[in-house]
């Protein structure tokens, strides 16, 4: 394909700070903007699916670039202490540094000794880079408000459960990016189904009319049902619907 011979602008990703907002390349931004969920016929059934204009369907190179980017994002989501010693060390180092800079509020010396272990237990399934990002926001005083709607006290280190929630928010930002790109891979070319849908509605009205005695259901074809349904006025169609709902002929 001619499009596949052109070198694509890659999808940017800052591996040090994965949630950093970077501009999408033009080819992807255009498709993201054009993506629309439409009612389409798929394998004989009408269903809502993501669609793109036929001229904007992905080439093999487009598809490979998105798939590789999604794989990179997925790999980042798996960088948790539970999944590797290196990730565990990174999380441990981030917490240790935070606790050196920010003391804990209202704690004893004995509790402080065990605090690091509590943080590690709570953050076992959270990516190390998300923990680092949450701590960075804490030091900047940019974490918003707590679950009670009160500003955080940045004079002290966050409680383990609070740091977990803040780190999960960072992780979800990456998941949202994946959720925005995955439908583009699944998109099919848009086809105007207006006429087919109207024929289907007309056929339904025609069948209902046949049940009401306005035609012979034994010999009625789909085209016959469409023709009969198309002849019904709106008041007649409404009467048929009302009769069907009440069970009266």
* Calpha distance 226→232 (Å, rounded): 10
Domain ranges of the chain: 3-78+183-189, 81-174, 194-246
Instruction: Give the pLDDT confidence of 182-241 residue by residue, as tens digits.
Output: 999 999 999 988 887 787 788 778 888 877 777 777 788 878 877 887 887 655 555 555
Which tens digits make up the pLDDT trace of 156-190?
A: 999 999 999 999 999 999 999 999 999 999 999 99
Question: What pLDDT does residue 239 have?
Answer: 52
The whole-angstrom separation of Cα 229 and Cα 224 is 8
Q: What is the DSSP string of 85-100?
A: HHHHHHHHHHHHHHHH
């Amino acid at each position: 394909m001619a499009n596949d011979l052109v070198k694509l602008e890659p999808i940017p990703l800052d591996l040090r700070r994965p949630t950093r907002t970077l501009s999408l390349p033009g080819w992807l931004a255009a498709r993201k903007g054009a993506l629309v969920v439409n009612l389409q016929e798929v394998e004989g059934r009408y269903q809502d699916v993501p669609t793109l204009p036929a001229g904007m369907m992905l080439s093999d190179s487009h598809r490979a670039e998105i798939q590789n980017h999604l794989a990179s994002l997925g790999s980042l989501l798996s960088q948790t202490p539970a999944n590797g010693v290196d990730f565990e060390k990174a999380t441990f180092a981030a917490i240790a540094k935070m606790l050196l800079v920010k003391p804990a509020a209202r704690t004893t010396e004995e509790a402080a000794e065990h605090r690091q272990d509590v943080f590690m237990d709570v953050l076992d399934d959270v990516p190390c880079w998300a923990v680092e990002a949450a701590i960075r926001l804490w030091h900047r005083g940019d974490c918003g408000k707590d679950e009670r709607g009160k500003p955080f006290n940045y004079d002290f280190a966050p409680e383990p459960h609070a740091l977990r929630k803040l780190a999960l928010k960072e992780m979800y930002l990456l998941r949202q990016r994946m959720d925005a790109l995955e439908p583009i891979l699944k998109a099919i070319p848009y086809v105007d189904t207006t006429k087919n849908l109207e024929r289907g509605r007309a056929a339904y009205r025609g069948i209902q009319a046949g049940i009401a005695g306005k035609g012979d259901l034994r010999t009625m074809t789909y085209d016959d049902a469409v023709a009969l349904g198309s002849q019904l006025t709106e008041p007649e169609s409404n009467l048929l619907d009302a009769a069907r709902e009440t069970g009266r002929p």
